[in-house]
């Protein structure tokens, strides 16, 4: 059968085509065609990120312990009887025997030693002259003599913390692939606008979270510096306390030496020698303790800084990962919106 299209038929087809367009686009009665993409309303929210402050404990720096044998010697001095115990006498004999084998001529230094001289030695940046030579000779002591000097006690915290280098994470601003993929036309423009609007909240939240993480990191770096300074001040106080104890011991030895100088010149001379040895050896031990303790404080600070750097890096990565997941979801919705525009006729 042959079909004939009249003017009336063409008017009907035109009306039908216009009705079809209204299925994909909304239209005000007196306005232009608008495009709505409600699917972006269901875009996932960027998750919250917790950043609790890490806890740090002060390292155990150890201590400088006094000699029990020397403490017993001081007890003899304070006994009031004027007699030394056999143990003390044997210990001083060991000191005398050891001193005879030394090459340094320290007689004048021992004879002139007083409270001011003790302070000068303990507070010196380095020893010179006969003091330096004697310090070197006191490096190797027989057990009997070594037992009369202070000892260093180090804790397990002296297992050195190794510095850890962490690569920084760079977050790039959002660059939507949609711009390069979209065709021209009002529908595509509307889809891009809906995508951009939907991504505003994730971008703002990502940036806000990053600001908080960076601020917390900066605060923790400052706190690490503060802890280091506080610990260093406490160490210096401890060292000053040890110096005072060493000085008090040496002064007591000198005082007893002076008290028996007229009745037992040989023992008095040995006591002055011991006092000089005690101060010189204690100087070396204190410097060693302070050097090692300062190194531990530095290692501890390095470890703490590495930890807060790791926290910052991991949280930054988590924030970016969460953001990428939301962006991937938005990209998928954007791609679907572009396909709808294409199906409507090149987005026009």
For the chain, domain boundaries: 63-169+194-343
Q: How far is 309 from 290, CA to CA, in rounded Å?
A: 28
Q: Look up residue 157 and give its DSSP letter.
A: G
- Helix or strand holding residue 282 (H, E): helix 265-343
Distance of CA 215 to the CA centre of its chain: 16
Instruction: Please give the backbone phi and psi of residue 264, each rounded to the nearest 5 degrees, phi first.
Output: -150, 80
Kindly report the pTM of this predicted structure: 0.76
Cα separations in angstroms, 233 against 154, 221, 240:
19, 19, 11
Distance CA 45, CA 326 (A): 7
pLDDT in tens, the chain (348 residues): 333 334 444 344 443 433 333 334 444 445 555 656 666 777 888 899 999 999 999 999 999 999 999 999 999 988 765 678 999 999 999 999 999 999 999 999 999 999 999 999 999 999 999 999 999 999 999 999 999 999 999 888 886 433 322 233 333 344 443 444 446 677 877 778 888 888 898 999 999 999 999 999 999 999 999 999 999 999 999 999 999 999 999 999 999 999 999 999 999 999 999 999 999 999 999 999 999 999 999 999 999 999 999 999 999 999 999 999 999 988 888 887 777 776 665 444
- 265-343 helix and 186-260 helix, angle to the nearest 10 degrees: 180
202: left (phi over 0), alpha (psi -120 to 50) or beta: alpha
């Amino acid at each position: 059968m042959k079909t004939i299209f009249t003017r009336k038929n063409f008017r009907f087809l035109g009306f039908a085509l216009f009705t079809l367009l209204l299925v994909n686009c909304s239209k005000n009665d007196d306005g232009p065609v608008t495009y709505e993409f409600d699917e972006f309303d269901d875009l996932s929210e960027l998750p919250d990120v917790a950043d609790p402050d890490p806890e740090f404990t002060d390292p155990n720096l150890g201590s400088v312990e006094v000699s029990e044998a020397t403490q017993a010697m001081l007890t003899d001095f304070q006994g009031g009887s004027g007699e030394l115990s056999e143990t003390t006498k044997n210990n001083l004999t060991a000191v005398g025997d050891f001193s005879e084998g030394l090459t340094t001529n320290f007689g004048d230094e021992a004879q002139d030693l007083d409270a001011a001289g003790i302070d000068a030695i303990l507070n010196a940046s380095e020893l010179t002259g006969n003091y330096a030579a004697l310090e070197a000779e006191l490096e190797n002591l027989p057990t009997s003599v070594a037992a009369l000097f202070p000892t260093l006690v180090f804790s397990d915290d002296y297992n050195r913390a190794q510095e850890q280098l962490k690569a920084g994470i760079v977050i790039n601003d959002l660059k939507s692939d949609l711009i390069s993929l979209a065709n021209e036309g009002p529908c595509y423009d509307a889809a891009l606008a809906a995508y951009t609007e939907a991504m505003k909240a994730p971008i703002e939240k990502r940036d806000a979270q990053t600001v908080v993480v960076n601020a917390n990191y900066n605060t923790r770096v400052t706190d690490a510096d503060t802890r280091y300074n506080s610990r260093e001040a406490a160490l210096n106080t401890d060292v000053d306390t040890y110096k005072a104890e060493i000085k008090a011991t040496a002064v007591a030895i000198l005082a007893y030496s002076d008290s028996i100088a007229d009745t037992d010149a040989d023992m008095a001379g040995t006591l002055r020698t011991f006092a000089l040895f005690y101060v010189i050896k204690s100087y070396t031990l204190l410097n060693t303790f302070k050097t090692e303790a300062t190194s531990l404080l530095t290692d501890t600070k390095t470890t703490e800084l590495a930890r807060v750097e790791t926290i910052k890096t991991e949280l930054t990565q988590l924030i970016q990962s969460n953001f990428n997941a939301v962006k991937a979801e938005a990209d998928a919705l954007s791609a679907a919106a572009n396909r709808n525009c294409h199906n409507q006729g090149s987005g026009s």
